[in-house]
Amino acid sequence: MKYRVPHFLPVSASILLLGGCFGILTFTTFSKNTESYEELLGRISQFEESRELQAEQGRLGVKKEIWVNEGKHRLQVALEADRADIKYANSLQGKEIIEQFFWVTATLLEDSTVDGASTNRALKSARAEEAEYHYTSQTLEAANIEIEDFSPVIFSFLSSDHLSYRQGIMILSGHVKMRFPDGMVLNCGYAQFDEKSRHAHFFEAVTVSKNLDGSRLIADQMVLVMEEVPRGGGSIAQEVLSLEATGNVVLSKDQQWSLTADAARYDKMGNLVELSVKEDPDAYLFFADSRGKIHARHAVFDLHSQECLLMGDVKMVHREGPLEQYALADRVKMIKGEKEIRFFSDQGKRVLFYDKINRLQMSAPEISVLKDSQKNKNTVTGKGKVRFHFKDEEYDRLRQYFLIEKVNE
């Protein structure tokens, strides 16, 4: 019997791990129970028509060489298990064959080439404490599964307390962990992979982190979107295209700051994380650090430059030591690890900046605040037509959002 390994690679890797259940063109067992196992099969043939027949056979020290077809490619897998049981039942519900493996390990022996096209894979190790395959329903169940070094794919390591696979859908539950080739790590309590749509859904305290830059994204739910990428020799691999997060979304950086929103989207091509809030006039996302908060409607964080752009009805409250500063703008850009903050206004509008301690009023199309940590002071610069006093309507705008005294008095 031939079994086609799906192109969706997390499923493929899991099936390769448990490949003794299907796709076996060459089968070798080194068990002393071979003769009794053949006798079992004979009994099954004799009583195939029986409505209540049940039979079971156990084997120890099972070793198999498996050839699995994937399109034009044939992959050779070596599988070993401490024990394997096969069960047969013929009841009123129909015939059922179940094969169980205990402490099973699979290794991809080599990359196979067909018609000059290489699979370009290197599955070095895959393990499961227990696995069970139902032939009638074509359902796979596995416990405590680990897959390593499956490259090039969407992940380089996957582990889960429990795995279930049926009709192109793979479900992981318990403590689910995925590590990607670019250093990104995903943890959650529940995951579902859809082979046809190339989507993966993650639930229950989903966390995505990158140890290299210290950034972390936490959400109630995430959706991973993948794409097929051509490789050398005519092979195709899966890679992450985007990651979408919803629910209570928090993007943070080494406990230095955090961005809280209703939704976020990671774009791998642009290396950007976009954050947004629901369509509600009272809904804001906010940037927070030890010095204060900035509220806005939308945000874009550049993972490469570490710059953050906040947009839409921006409001800032900044308290650091004796400083007490307020600002209203349409956009604000955090540059060089917050060493510089630039406030921008839309055409025909102005940025309002107020330093309560120094009684500084500034109204301009653009205002920048440069922080000097060594001298413990800030330099505030206005660009365009700059005024150092607020008009009455500008003061009224500030008073709508901040509890400040009338600054023109």
Spatial CB neighbours of 225, under 8 Å, sequence gap ≥ 6: 198, 199, 240, 241, 242, 243, 244
**What is the pLDDT of the chain when averaged over all its residues?**
78
Predicted local confidence at residue 407, as pLDDT: 57
Greater confidence (335 vs 109) lies with 335
Please give the Cα distance from 223 to 201 (Å, whole number).
5
Predicted local confidence at residue 264, as pLDDT: 94
Least confident of 196-200, 238-242, 316-320, 326-330: 238-242
3-class SS letters over 290-323: CCEEEEECEEEEECCCCCEEEEEEEEEEEEECCE
**How do residues 261-307 score in pLDDT, each as one tens digit?**
999 998 877 788 999 999 888 899 999 988 889 999 999 999 888 88
**How do residues 125-161 score in pLDDT, each as one tens digit?**
778 999 888 888 888 888 998 887 654 456 778 899 9
Greater confidence (257 vs 44) lies with 257
Taking residues 169-182, report their average pLDDT.
87
Predicted local confidence at residue 47, as pLDDT: 53
Pick the closest to residue 217 from 182, 247, 181 (CA basis): 247
**How do residues 209-221 score in pLDDT, each as one tens digit?**
876 567 899 999 9
**How do residues 360-389 score in pLDDT, each as one tens digit?**
999 999 999 988 766 667 889 999 999 999
Taking residues 189-195, report their average pLDDT.
88
Predicted local confidence at residue 336, as pLDDT: 65
Is pLDDT above 70 for 357? yes
Is pLDDT above 60 for 58? yes
Predicted local confidence at residue 120, as pLDDT: 44
Predicted local confidence at residue 68, as pLDDT: 63
Q: pLDDT grade, residue 237 (50/70/90)?
A: low
Greater confidence (43 vs 271) lies with 271
Predicted local confidence at residue 249, as pLDDT: 94
Please give the Cα distance from 258 to 228 (Å, whole number).
33
Predicted local confidence at residue 195, as pLDDT: 74
- Whole-model pTM above 0.85? no
**How do residues 87-130 score in pLDDT, each as one tens digit?**
887 766 678 888 888 998 877 665 544 454 444 444 567 789 99
Predicted local confidence at residue 13, as pLDDT: 37
Spatial CB neighbours of 159, under 8 Å, sequence gap ≥ 6: 145, 146, 147, 175, 176, 177
Spatial CB neighbours of 327, under 8 Å, sequence gap ≥ 6: 314, 315, 316, 318, 343, 351, 352, 353, 354, 367
Q: What domains lie within the chain, and their CATH numbers?
A: 9-249 (2.60.450.10), 277-401 (2.60.450.10)
Is pLDDT above 60 for 6? no
For 51, how many CA atoms within 13 A lie in the half-sphere containing its CB?
A: 2
